[in-house]
Structure formats: C-alpha cells, structure tokens
Copies of this chain bind each other. A is one copy, B any other.
Amino acid sequence: MTNTPYGSPTFAGWRDAASSEWQAFTQHAFVQQLGDGTLPREAFLHYLVQDYVFLIHFSRAWALAVVKSESLAEMKTAAGTVDALVNHEMQLHIKICTEAGLSEEQLYTAEEDIENLAYTRYVMDAGLSGDFLDLIAALAPCVFGYGEIGPALKQSAVPSTPYQDWIDMYSGAEYQEVCHAVGAMIEGAMCARIGDTPQNSPRWNTLCERFRIATRLEIGFWDMGLRGALRAETP
C-alpha cells in the first residue's frame, strides 16, 4: 500500500483515520467468500439486487456532485462518473440478474433493505447538508474500497470461483481509471477549498467522520449480503 493510493494523499489520510472500519470492510467474510468461491449463490444474488438499487442512488449522489461542483474539472469528473455508473457498472448487474431471471424493472423496484436505505440516503444528505467535499468524503469509501478489493481478489481468488466476472470488473482498467480520476478530483477539490495542509483544518475531522460513517455502512452492506443466504434457507 502506498502513501498516495490513486494519487490521493487525502484518501490515504481518511483511510488511516478509519483503519479498523476499513479493514472490516475490505476484508469482510463476504469478500473472502467471493474469492474462495464459497459465497452462496443466494447471498450473491441478494447482494446484486440490492447493489443495483444502491447504484441508482449512487448515480443520484454523483449527479448531486455535478450540482455542487465549483470548477469545470469537478463537473466533468462527476458527470463522467454518472455516465460510467449508469452505462457501464450497472450493466454487469443487469446481465447477471437477467441470467438469473430478474428483469431490470424488477431490480429498479426491489424493496430496499434497511442497510441499503441507510447508506445511500446518508450520502445524499451529506450532499444536501454540506458542500462538495462532504459529499465526496461520503462517496469515497465505495469508490476506493471496491478499487482495492478488486485487485486483491484478482491475486488471491481461486480459479474456480464463480464470481470471476465481478472480480474482473473491479480489478479491470476501466474501473481503476475511475478511481484515479476521482483521486485526482479529490486532491484538486481539497486544495481549492482547504489549501495545502488540510490536516490542520477543523474540517479535516468532519470529513474523516463522514468517510468513517460511510465505511461503517459498507460493512453493513456486506452483512446484508450474507443475510441473503440465510433468508433463502428459511423454508
């Protein structure tokens, strides 16, 4: 791990300030089971349906970042991310779910679990109540967490895992480029609003806290995924 993952010392700082949550998120049992192939299909499908709805609201949150941009560069990165989410990342979900017999309309109208509601609406409200940085700090754990998990699984996963498509997407060049673009955008946004030594600003703690809470909600999201298998087992 470098000091400037995705070119962003800010992300490195936020991650350090939430290190126990970060570890619980990126090394969660759900993640390990994706890699060793033991994740029950029901858990994965439950996760995928919820994650589709998550991505709808995540796209809304990135669109809110366009609303809150204060420079051309911010606006273009945020608008590009909306496009990447709607037209790329969500397509894998649709493809896999369609194969499992779920239509996109069914995905769109799926009942959201409480962990899902909590996470996405927390991010939206971070944007409504704060500024661009508050919103981005709440968006960052998902972007960068999946950016770390993808390549880690790419290395460690057993060849027989049925979740190779998922691993390939998040370890792939396209997704990793999004992470780098977001990393660069964060550095620019911090510099334009807080200056060169953000850790000395009173806002540093507030932003760390936003990042920490969103990371906590990522853990809940994996918990929710695992619960999907239990449900399916209930007669």
Contacts and interface: CB of A to CB of B under 8 A. Distances in A.
A198 to B, nearest CB: 11
Interface in A130-148: 130-132, 134
A79 interface: yes
A226 interface: no
Interface in A85-130: 86, 104-105, 108, 114-115, 117-118, 120-122, 124-125, 128-130
Contacts of A27: none
Tell me the dominant secondary structure on chain A's binding face: helix
Interface residues of A, number: 50
A82 B75 CA distance: 10
A220 interface: yes
A66 B59 CA distance: 8
The copy count of this chain in the complex is 4
B67 A67 contact: yes
A229 to B, nearest CB: 20
Contacts of A118: 114-115, 117-118, 121
Contacts of A131: 129-131, 134
23 contacts: A60-B69, A63-B63, A63-B82, A66-B66, A66-B82, A68-B128, A68-B130, A72-B108, A76-B86, A79-B86, A82-B82, A114-B114, A117-B122, A117-B213, A118-B118, A121-B122, A125-B125, A128-B128, A130-B131, A131-B131, A191-B202, A193-B202, A194-B202
